[in-house]
Structure 1
Amino acid sequence: MDLEKLIGAEVTGNSGRSYNVTSKYVPIHMMMLEKAEKPSALLGEKANLFHADINGRTVLLKEVIDGSAELEFFEHINQAEFLHENMIPLEDVIEIQGKKLAVFPFISYEEGLDFSLNMDEATRYLEDNIRMSNTEVMVFSTLILDFLDYLHQNNAIYVDLKPGNILVHLSNLNLTQDSVFFNFFDFDSTLIGERDEEKDIVVYKRKFGDRFRTTLGYAAPEIIVSSNEITENADIYSFGCMMYRWFTDDYSYNIKANSLAYAIRPYTESGQIISKQEIAKQELLEDTSFWKKQGFLVPEDALKADDIPWYMKKLIASCLEINPVNRPISSKLVNNFNRINKILKVPIHLRNKRDSAVVGLSQYHYLM
């Protein structure tokens, strides 16, 4: 079925609610291709997206594949103790002629506008693009870390963490108590793992045929080499890349997909005995110089970056460790961020659920 034929029609979700499909939605960066060196992947360039109306409220319809990681994630996270306020909620699912459409609230960049804007677009492609101050980077990074720790607490690994998957609300960009000024979107690559109780870390064991959508410039090396086990620390590498780019305002990278694939082929060839292949992959994840040569961010980059403040250099460097076992888990980072923010008087503090019994709709509170 051509989903564009739904425009102007009324469709019913599994909840029984009816939606009037009003228009095709085109992400703003798709209208700006002549300006963007490389368009971000907000909602996926090839995704079928539609505006719809329900009782005067605009929602976004997104085509999803039956059995997709995104639907599996929402089914899993809906069993959690609470839903994180920085996560866009799944409101409904529409099934029509063998197709599925997920229903999400429409997140407008500014009140009254009919388009969304992600952090990648806001910091790179707008004429008045945003260059965040160090304090703003700390606040955003702290809140993103809070969300990551929430996912990891619930045995989920985001996998494709990047600014392009964070929708921002310009009207809420003030640090008031009740502001929610960004939402995570797009859980197409999110994995549900199991907790290694001894190491207190989430582990996903790759299954035959698994394919993960990732983004070069943010993807962790173990994702690239298809390690048999993916841990929550894959998100920590991506988080380190985001902090590096925000502090330095440098969004360039020299990773070339074809040359990278050629370089790692000897370590990932399917003809190898599995045990030998994993040993080869592990050896590669201990070779920082290899990944630096391929254009990946490594600890040295953070330590030598003039624009990264001294109090964040070692922390970001630890996130950029090539071997995932050398990266800190999110709960440890929460403690480090709290300590740094307290010293700097950054107006935010996280309540670490692994160390505290605090439960609520928000895991953080503002100190202003």
Structure 2
Amino acid sequence: MALDSTIILDDKGPRQGYGWAFSVSTWVHLALLVALVWLPIVRPHPEEKKDVVEFEVAKKEAPKPKPREPEPQALRRKAVPNPPPPSGGANERRVPVPPAGDPQVQPQSQARPMAPPPAPTTSTRAFTGSSSQGPKGDRPAGPAVGTGEPAEGPGQGPGAPGRSDLSRALSDFRRSVLGLDGSGGGGKGNGGEGSGGSGVGMGPPSASGFGFGNLLFEGNDFDFVKSGYASQAYYAILKAWYRRLYLMADQFEKWAFKRGWMLDHQNQIRFVIGRNGQIERVDLINESGCEPLDKSAMDALKEVVLPPLPPEFPRGEEGVLVTFIATGDIHLMRTDPQLHWAAEGY
């Protein structure tokens, strides 16, 4: 037997009563969400009041200048009347007044010119033209010191002239270096017994006492003094040595700190002059005991330019023995006018 299934639907139309509640709930939740979005997440804490210490900077006023007190008026000296002239008496002596036109009598109030003080003298020694050179103690004696007599040669005499004569000394030295002075310093040397040769002697030293000696040519077959070659070579070597002394003043000062500031040294050097005037060999024969002096002399001979040997000279070279002598105070080397002129040209 078959059973029929039947579904009965009871449809009485839309039910009312809960729709409004759903709508209200939705809008309320949306309002809450909007409120939560716009509200700050962290609530600001109330700011704590901090203790604030206030300082009041007082402005320091500049001190007001004190009013200047009126300067006291200078005390005026009361004029003291001159005492009346003494009355004439029996013991009164009158001095006769010379006539106004008398030139022989001068009033006592006229000042007399004072004589200038004597120029300071320095100890210098002139070296003769001797061709033989002995030990240091056997130097020929020069003219008397402090006599004031001018000496021959380029430089100043043993009387040590003052500053007014320096220009004349420089002029003489300049003419000698240029070969205008044919005197040749000390002239021809005696050469000694059997030594032969001719030479010139360096005259008085420079203003401070540096630079003199002698120059001896070894050959006896030619007169270098008469030909004028000795004078030219002599002054060329002297100028070159003065230049080295001025440029090496600092080395002399370093040496003086250990050995003393006063120089009294000499050395002997032998060199050979070629036909063209070039110095070929330089040998230090006798040392002076002052290293800067030996070095200055050796350097001067290595850099000096000598004129060629005379055409009538029979040989191709000539040996020369030169003595360099330095005396004086090392303090004066930098201010010596002749050393400065040889190095700087003025």
* TM-score normalised to structure 1 length: 0.23
Give the structure-2-normalised TM-score.
0.24
Richer in helix (by share): 1
Q: Highest CA radius of gyration, 1 or 2?
A: 2
